[in-house]
Amino acid sequence: MSYSRRKFIKNMTVITGAISVTNAYGTVSSNPGETNFPIAFFTKPLDNYEIDFMSETLAESGIDGFDLTVRSKGRVEPERIREDLPEVIEVGKKYGLKTRMMVTAIKSIHEPYTKNMLETAANLGISHYRLGYYDYNFQDGIESSLSSIRNEIEHLIQLNKELGIQGEYQNHSGKKFGAPVWDIWNVIKDLPSNAISCQYDIRHAVTEGSLSWILALHLLKNNMGSLAIKDFTWDVSTGKAKVKSVPLGEGIVDFDLFFKTIKELNIVAPITLHAEYPLLLKEEENLPLLQKQKLISAKIKKDVDLIRMYLKKYQLA
């Protein structure tokens, strides 16, 4: 999407002077105590906008940094990581945003861009990256698949340890590895958590286990790398239930119990906020860019404010 930086500045108040960088993670926040749970934004919904627009929008919403898509069709393409990643990080810094997290499709040390991607990211200060998703081989069986996945991860963590970067596997509903959550623990339970851990996605955990998700949280408490936050409800029609993504607090995820349990288990991890619901309605998509920015920023800020409310309630921040 075409974006004129000069025109944008001319039509809006410069916000960076009103924002204070409050901690080592680069928090852009009016809550200076939030050092243990910085809130990054999974950039997928904003990847089609130019970098300045994305950065200013997120800064206005109170986000602390990027959880940047570094994968095919993402904000940064793997083959251009050396050229493009530094630029994205530097633009974010202008708005008080830090880049400490990225989302990749990495599944093996033997993939073409794995080593280059992780070396570049680590050198630029990225400390967490999300792996790609592993498939089960139903012909060979679940147990054999777990052994193969473990083998791939063991090779990856050797590089992770050398570079000082933490790989994280997200639990995702469906039929891939990680959907039941218990299989993640089975594979990584005795591996160094600073090299491989779980990105615990509360929405997907509730989707797969509406009441049992809390058991997985207890199980993985020592293997927690980050917390993915989003909400959903069930859309039931013609006898079938489908997931409908909604803003935080408008769905069925029990965030009160979730953050209470985080406190009780002494889990400390960065947060990645996922906005999978529409940030613009169809009738809003053709509005002028500044109007769209205002709408998008307000929706994200509402989610950020709810997370910070729970962090404060349970003395996590």
Structural domains for the chain: 5-313 (3.20.20.150)
Element (H, E) at 63: none
Could you give the CA distance from residue 86 to residue 121 in angstroms, rounded to a whole number? 9
The pair of three-digit structure tokens given for residue 108, joined into one six-digit string: 């093996």
Output phi, psi for 289, to 5 deg: -55, -40
Query: 10 pLDDT exceeds 60?
Result: no
**What is the mean pLDDT of the segment spanning 170-183?**
97
Of the CA atoms within 13 Å of residue 140, those in its CB half-sphere come to 10
User: What are the residues whose beta carbons fall under 8 Å from the beta carbon of 211, sequence distance 6 or more?
Assistant: none
Q: Are strands 39-42 and 240-246 parallel, antiparallel or unpaired?
A: unpaired
User: What are the residues whose beta carbons fall under 8 Å from the beta carbon of 43, sequence distance 6 or more?
Assistant: 54, 66, 67, 68, 69, 74, 75
Could you give the CA distance from residue 150 to residue 126 in angstroms, rounded to a whole number? 24
**What is the mean pLDDT of the segment spanning 118-127?**
98
Query: 48 pLDDT exceeds 50?
Result: yes
Could you give the CA distance from residue 43 to residue 62 in angstroms, rounded to a whole number? 14
Query: 184 pLDDT exceeds 80?
Result: yes
222-249 pLDDT, tens digit per residue, is 999 999 999 999 999 988 999 999 999 9
Q: What local confidence, expressed as pLDDT, does residue 253 receive?
A: 98
Q: What local confidence, expressed as pLDDT, does residue 156 receive?
A: 98
**What is the mean pLDDT of the segment spanning 252-281?**
98
Output phi, psi for 159, to 5 deg: -70, -40
Evaluate whether 266 touches 285 at the Cβ level (below 8 Å). Answer: no
Could you give the CA distance from residue 134 to residue 177 in angstroms, rounded to a whole number? 5
> Quick count: other Cβ atoms within 10 Å of Cβ 137?
12
Closest CA to 104 of 93, 96, 112, 92: 112
Q: What local confidence, expressed as pLDDT, does residue 240 receive?
A: 92
**What is the mean pLDDT of the segment spanning 195-204?**
98
Dihedral sign for Cα atoms in the order 24, 29, 33, 36: negative
The pair of three-digit structure tokens given for residue 136, joined into one six-digit string: 């089960």
Q: What local confidence, expressed as pLDDT, does residue 35 receive?
A: 66
Helix (H/G/I), strand (E/B), else coil: 66:
strand
Query: 8 pLDDT exceeds 70?
Result: no
Please name the residue ranges forming H helices in the chain: 5-10, 51-61, 81-94, 114-123, 142-163, 182-188, 202-208, 213-219, 255-264, 289-313
Q: What is the pTM of this model?
A: 0.89
Please name the residue ranges forming H helices in 213-288: 213-219, 255-264
Q: Are strands 224-229 and 271-273 parallel, antiparallel or unpaired?
A: parallel
82-101 pLDDT, tens digit per residue, is 999 999 999 999 999 999 99
